[in-house]
């Protein structure tokens, strides 16, 4: 049994000033702590006071990271007590800056770095992880971090942040979580030239060699941690789809950029129908951007249209994609595989032309290019629709297709707006709009928890469809009146538990589950109390 400073240095058991007199006796802590015994609530007050003293969000990120290494339960209790405030500090948008500066702000190793020289011995390296019962893995290769591009091993901030949300939003025990960076190199020359860069200092693996490396990792996980869920995060579009197509029916896994984003956006679209008074089956939807996020959303929306009774052919005509070359049309000589299902039998046209021709009810941006929803675009959508629905999804905030203020101002307060990163409330002509953030954290923690609780063999597309419907159900009339298509972030734990139940029921009903769903999910999840 640990005693003295060994206990205070162990973040999983450390309670700092909250150790009782009897515990100080038992663990040899007298003299090592101040006299006053503080409560967890006292400690959280101190945490928030310290956050208030910081001038910049990146400083708050560093402070919270250090807190996690000192006192894990205090960290998660603080996060959960005010997700509305803390989530933007530990994930988007602050995590984007943290990833760009990851080598400079590096303090303590968190997660597994599987670099190229470990090829042939990845399973052995995984054995160095201190926890043996790993159930949730978030893995990236750092090639397409948010809208920031190739950040190499600096992208480790993404798996770390996503797993923090699994814990805070769905109650996954942190001891079951493992962030993984597949460090296959980087093509970012600026990083390769940076003497402080901590990643493998070579150009990226590509082709068969790359996929063999990833496959060795996936196989090693199956052998070491057979109950583990693998969440793929921030891979390039082509690699993301190849990996998902290869493993989705064989391994308990999903890609959050493709499927998690799709779930949260579809939920927002369902909720928007209550404002616009339109039926989902009647919607016409246009995407600006045709990468993994956009086509992932389109795939789930296609399923939702077919669930409403439309044929696949009819549903595909309702989903128009615009990429850097314009409308994705069948007459193109080459079309990426993920775009082929949505190529329209139309003439080539740009965004403005396509809006005029198609008259979409909903415009979804997933471009990683700021200012692409111009004043002309928003005004045109407002001419066509009494309440135009605008999703500016690109992360971080600096990459958003337009701001909330622009959407409301240019539409004269008529826009129904949601974004990928958070925006502050907007005051326009006597109205206060509180735009909702289409954060994947509304979806992926609950889906993951439901799959884990039932030991599902895989994760089906239907699971994301039922999750989207459950999330939309939790949007209240008060939320809609304030302009938000999503419930408050501080209610996300309740939402995640409900999604876990519904996903678990789906796993059981389809024969994917290997055990029954526990009767009382909420009582068995992680609670960071002393």
Chain center to CA of 113: 21
- The rounded distance, in Å, linking the Cα atoms of 43 and 78 is 9
183-221 burial code (b ≥16 CB/10 A, e <16): bbbbebeebbebeebbbbeeebbeeeebeebbebbbebb
Structure token pair of residue 323? 């990429």
Contact 278, 285 (CB under 8 A): no
Backbone angles phi, psi at 47, to 5 degrees: -60, -50
Cα–Cα dist 238/221, whole Å: 23
Query: Alpha-carbon distance 17 to 4, whole Å?
Result: 13
C-alpha neighbours within 13 Å on the C-beta side of residue 47: 31
Angle between helices 444-453 and 492-509 (to 10 degrees): 40
Give the contacts of 339 (CB within 8 A, at least 6 positions apart). Answer: 290, 295, 321, 323, 328
**CA-atom Rg of the chain in angstroms:** 23
CA distance 49 to 60: 11
Residue 162 a catalytic site member: yes
Q: Which of 228, 227, 257, 254 is nearest to 243 (CA)?
A: 254
CB distance 330 to 342 below 8 Å: no
Active-site residue identified among 68, 100, 162, 399 = 162
**Which stretches does DSSP call E strand in 302-457?**
319-323, 326-327, 362-365, 389-392, 416-419, 426-428, 431-433, 436-437
How far is the CA of 3 from the CAs of 19, 89, 417, in angstroms?
A: 12, 34, 54
**Is 183 in contact with 199 (CB distance < 8 Å)?**
yes
Active-site residue identified among 91, 210, 241, 247: 91
**CB contact at 8 A, 146 and 261:** no
Residue 181 exposed, middle or buried by CB count within 10 Å (0-12, 13-18, 19+): buried
Q: How far is CA 404 from CA 243, 400, 417, 436, 483, in A?
A: 35, 9, 7, 10, 11
Distance CA 105, CA 99 (A): 9
Residues serving a catalytic function are 91, 162
């Amino acid at each position: 049994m640990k005693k003295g400073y060994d206990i205070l240095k162990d973040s999983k058991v450390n309670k700092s000033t909250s150790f009782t007199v009897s515990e100080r006796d038992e663990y040899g802590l007298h003299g090592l702590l101040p006299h006053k015994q503080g409560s967890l609530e006292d400690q959280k007050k101190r945490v928030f006071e310290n956050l208030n003293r910081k001038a910049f969000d990146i400083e708050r990120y560093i402070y919270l990271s250090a807190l996690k290494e000192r006192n894990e339960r205090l960290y998660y209790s603080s996060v959960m007590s005010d997700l509305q405030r803390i989530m933007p500090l530990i994930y988007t948008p602050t995590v984007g800056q943290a990833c760009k500066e990851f080598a400079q702000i590096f303090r303590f190793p968190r997660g597994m770095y599987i670099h190229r020289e470990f090829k042939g011995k990845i399973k052995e390296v995984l054995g160095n992880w201190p926890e043996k019962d790993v159930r949730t893995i978030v893995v990236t290769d750092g090639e397409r971090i948010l809208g920031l591009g190739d950040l190499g091993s600096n992208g480790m901030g993404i798996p770390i942040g996503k797993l923090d949300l699994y814990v805070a939003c769905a109650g996954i025990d942190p001891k079951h979580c493992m962030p993984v960076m597949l460090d296959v190199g980087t093509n970012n020359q600026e990083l390769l030239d940076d003497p402080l860069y901590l990643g493998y200092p070579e150009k990226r693996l590509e082709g068969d060699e790359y996929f063999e490396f990833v496959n060795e990792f996936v196989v090693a996980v199956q052998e070491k941690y057979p109950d583990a869920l693998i969440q793929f995060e921030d891979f390039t579009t082509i690699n993301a789809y190849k990996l998902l197509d290869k493993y989705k029916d064989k391994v308990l896994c999903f890609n959050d950029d493709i499927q998690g984003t799709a779930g949260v956006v579809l939920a927002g679209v369902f909720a928007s129908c209550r404002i616009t008074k339109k039926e989902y089956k009647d919607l016409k939807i246009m995407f600006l951007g045709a990468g993994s996020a956009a086509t992932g959303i389109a795939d789930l929306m296609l399923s939702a249209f077919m669930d409403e009774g439309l044929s696949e052919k009819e549903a595909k005509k309702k989903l128009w994609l615009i990429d850097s070359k314009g409308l994705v049309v069948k007459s193109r000589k080459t079309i990426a595989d993920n775009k082929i299902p949505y190529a329209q039998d139309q003439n080539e046209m740009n965004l403005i032309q396509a809006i005029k021709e198609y008259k979409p009810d909903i415009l979804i941006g997933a471009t990683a290019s700021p200012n692409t929803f111009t004043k002309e675009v928003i005004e045109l959508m407002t001419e066509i629709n009494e309440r135009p629905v605008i999703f500016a999804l690109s992360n971080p905030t600096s990459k958003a297709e337009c701001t909330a203020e622009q959407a409301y101002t240019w539409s004269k307060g008529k826009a129904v707006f949601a974004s990928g990163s958070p925006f502050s409330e907007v005051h326009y002509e006597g109205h206060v709009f509180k735009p909702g953030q289409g954060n994947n954290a509304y979806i992926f923690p609950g889906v993951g928890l439901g799959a884990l609780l039932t030991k599902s063999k895989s994760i089906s597309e239907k699971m994301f469809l039922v999750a989207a419907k459950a999330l939309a159900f939790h949007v209240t009339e008060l939320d809609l009146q304030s302009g938000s298509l999503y419930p408050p972030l501080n209610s996300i734990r309740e939402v995640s538990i409900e999604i876990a139940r519904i996903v678990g029921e789906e796993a059981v009903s389809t024969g994917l589950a290997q055990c029954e769903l526990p009767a009382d999910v909420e009582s068995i999840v992680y609670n960071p109390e002393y």
